[in-house]
Amino acid sequence: MRHDKLFLWFLANPSAPRYVGQLRLVGAGKGVSLQYGAAWLREGFALSEDLPLVDTEQLPRWKGMAVGAVDDARPDRWGERVIQYIDKPARLSLMEYLFYAGDERFGALGVSTSAEAYLPRPRSALPRLAQAQQLSEIVRKVSARDPVSDIERKLLATGGSFGGAKPKALIEIGAEQWIIKFFNNEPIDVPLVEHASMTLAGLAGITVAQTQVVPLVGEHALAVRRFDRDGTTRIHGISAGTALRAQAVATLEPELGYPGLAQLLRRAGVAEGGLNLLDMQELFRRMVFNILIDNTDDHEKNHTLLVVAPHRQGKYRLAPAYDVLTTNSGQGYQEFIVGTDQRDSTLANAMSQCELFGYTPAQAAAQVLRVIQVVNGWRAHFAACGVSAADLASLAERIDGEQLLGQRQNFNAADYANPKRQRRRSPFAP
Ligand SMILES: Nc1ncnc2c1ncn2[C@@H]1O[C@H](COP(=O)(O)OP(=O)(O)OP(=O)(O)O)[C@@H](O)[C@H]1O
Ligand SMILES: [Mg+2]
């Protein structure tokens, strides 16, 4: 395949695909543009805020990316590798990656070779849970660039290029799709630690994607239930990076962080029933939890907004949390901006802009205490999840290391109870 043009479809109801518009390779092959079709301009919605319903070719504003929400329809490092290895297209541009990501990609968008009919990359049935062992061996071969047979190729072909950097695939459990993330020779049992971290986050008032440990020969894998599927319905979603870039001035470095995302939810979240406020406040707890559990890998693709009411102004809900685990890096800074001290992994930094998350300082401090209390119980919780004594000892060096334990012990909510209010002087005062 060597198409410089492809066609974007919307698959919320996959039995009735709707044509969105034409994708074109631009910028010397370094970007992908979108031109909405006439019917979508009449009846569709803006896929992201930087893709308004206008009758013109919309060009990517950042190098090496597809426009707006289209960028979330392409694979990430792992998927690219699978495509290079399994599909072996004649050329490797964003177009091939968009096409070969296939029908079960993240969200509700699909890529077709035709504007008249939805013709995606041919798909085969997803593997079932009972085939997880076999799937892990195929994934290992792809990681090592060892040869795979045609049957093996088929098993990985449909769900093998899902997003993220680590080895994974899609599988079916019951009638539902789950992402299965495999052990990748890390020094600790990462799939088990991810399950333990995610379920611990759940205890701290964080909505998490459902996880399930999959025992394999000599190792574990982690299955994560897809939140962008509801039965046969597909839910359009965009990454935090796409949402924040959409409101940024092109060519300027976008501000990628929690306070900015909270404000975006305030503006474009679902105001009815105060759901946007609940999402903003939950985001605050996620940020605090990530700091205290040493999940420093909280980058722009590790937060998703689900587009629940595409035709309405308030449309975004925070998707359940995923990819939340102790990274054991101890690097001392997050990937996402936390507060006035930028990415520093400190509770003082988390508190510094708590009002942007819809909390008074006293309320925010109470939430910090709540998360601290849950994280204080991490060891018992992880042990109950089956994390080995050796792994607990390794994780304790971070979670109970001087830096993070010290912060849990020294946080004093009273410091925020009665913030000394700076009396605002009227600019008109003499
Ligand atoms: N439960 C889920 N439902 C739907 N999409 C999901 C879910 N979990 C993850 N995703 C999507 O898949 C991508 C990869 O998942 P995840 O972040 O868990 O993988 P990873 O390889 O560990 O990522 P990273 O590259 O951050 O290390 C996410 O960025 C998100 O777009
Ligand atoms: Mg991730």
- Parse the chain into domains and list their residue ranges: 5-112, 230-416
Short-list 257, 78, 56, CA closest to 164: 78
In sign, the C-alpha dihedral spanning 257, 259, 261, 263 is: negative
Structure token pair of residue 246? 């959409």
What is the pLDDT at residue 310?
87
CA–centroid distance for 227 within its chain? 11
- pLDDT beneath 70, residues of the chain: 1, 419-425, 427, 429-430
Structure token pair of residue 211? 């996880």
pLDDT tens-digit map of 152-201: 999 998 898 999 999 999 999 999 999 999 999 999 999 999 999 999 99
Q: What is the CATH number of domain 230-416?
A: 1.10.1070.20
For residue 375, give the 3-state DSSP assignment.
Answer: helix
User: Is the CB–ligand 1 distance for residue 188 below 6 Å?
Assistant: no
What is the pLDDT at residue 33?
98
β-bridge partners, 7: 22, 112
Provide the angle, in degrees to the nearest 10, between the axes of the packed helices 190-203 and 389-399.
60
Ligand nearest to the CA of 297: 1
Taking the centre of ligand 1 as the mean of its atom positions, its distance from the CA of residue 421, in whole angstroms, is 42
pTM: 0.95
Ligand nearest to the CA of 163: 1
Question: Which residues have their alpha-adjacent CB atom under 5 A from ion ligand 2?
Answer: 164, 302, 323
Q: How many residues can be counted in the chain? A: 430
User: Is the CB–ligand 1 distance for residue 301 below 6 Å?
Assistant: yes
What is the pLDDT at residue 312?
83
What is the pLDDT at residue 264?
97
What is the pLDDT at residue 313?
77
Taking the centre of ligand 1 as the mean of its atom positions, its distance from the CA of residue 200, in whole angstroms, is 18
Average pLDDT, the chain: 94
The residue whose CA has the least distance to atom 2 of ligand 1 is 226
**Ligand 1 atom at minimum distance from 166 CA:** 21
What is the pLDDT at residue 344?
98
pLDDT tens-digit map of 236-289: 999 999 999 999 987 788 999 999 999 999 999 999 999 999 999 999 999 999
Contact 23, 13 (CB under 8 A): no
What is the pLDDT at residue 423?
57
CA–centroid distance for 361 within its chain? 28
Ligand nearest to the CA of 168: 1
What is the pLDDT at residue 421?
56
Q: List, edge to edge, every strand of the sheet that includes 211-216.
A: 168-173, 176-182, 219-225, 211-216
